[in-house]
Amino acid sequence: MKTKQTKILFVCLGNICRSPMAHGVMQYLVDKYECQNVFCKIDSCGMYGEAEGTQTHQRTILEIQNQLNYQFMKPSRNWSAKDYDEYDLILAMDKSNYFAILKQLGKQKISDAAQKVKLFRDFDPKGKGNVMNPYGGEQIKYTQVFQIIERTCKNIIQSHVQIQDK
């Protein structure tokens, strides 16, 4: 039986804090648990156009490095209409970005959207809601966001494959 491959996209406002953190953590976990055959493409983007091309926020890079001993950074990119067709699972970090995605889709795609556009914390075993935006905050805010993201990314992986901690 062939494993269904999933392309996953994380979306936040500027693609410099939350969504690249989720992108980096997910990439790390997919590599750690060797499930690249299931999660064949991972990316992140932002809904706010003026941040495009900006590097991942330094505190996000630092948090991933400190927690996982993993280097991750990427230039931000904006949401594109093509993203909806490209990705199987589109995870908004908060409700405002979720609704911004739906607004971008238009009426013809909105009926299918419930199958692939979701709030990131819909997969959080500790509760639903928004992932707070740590931008402008102290490192502790990034640590709190990291904790939400790590457990939620693990849960997303476990919803697709059986994993054992290494």
Give 80-102 pLDDT, tens digit per residue.
989 999 999 999 999 999 999 99
Per-residue confidence (pLDDT) for residue 3, from 0 to 100: 67
- 1 found inside a domain: no
Asked about 12 being catalytic, the answer comes back as yes
Please give the Cα distance from 37 to 65 (Å, whole number): 25
DSSP element (H, E) containing 20: helix 18-32
Above 90 in pLDDT, residue 61? Answer: yes
pLDDT above 70 covers a percentage of the chain that reads 96
- 104 found inside a domain: yes
- The angle at the Cα of 85, spanning 128 to 48, to the nearest 5 degrees, equals 60
Asked about 35 being catalytic, the answer comes back as no
Confidence bin at 130 (pLDDT 50/70/90): very high
**Residues present in the chain in total:** 166
- Between 3 and 139, residue with greater pLDDT: 139
The domain tally of the chain equals 1
- 128 found inside a domain: yes
- 99 found inside a domain: yes
**pTM score:** 0.94
pLDDT, mean over the chain = 93
Q: Are 42 and 30 in contact (CB under 8 A)?
A: yes
Per-residue confidence (pLDDT) for residue 58, from 0 to 100: 97
- 39 found inside a domain: yes
**DSSP string of 119-165?**
EGGGG-TT--SPPP--TTS-HHHHHHHHHHHHHHHHHHHHTTS----
For range 136-159, the mean pLDDT = 98
For range 59-72, the mean pLDDT = 97
Catalytic residue among 17, 18, 59, 121: 18
Above 60 in pLDDT, residue 1? Answer: no
pLDDT above 90 covers a percentage of the chain that reads 82
Catalytic residue among 12, 17, 45, 153: 12
Per-residue confidence (pLDDT) for residue 4, from 0 to 100: 83
Structural domain including 16 reads: 6-158
- 120 found inside a domain: yes
Residue 125, domain CATH:
3.40.50.2300
Confidence bin at 78 (pLDDT 50/70/90): very high
- 141 found inside a domain: yes
- 163 found inside a domain: no
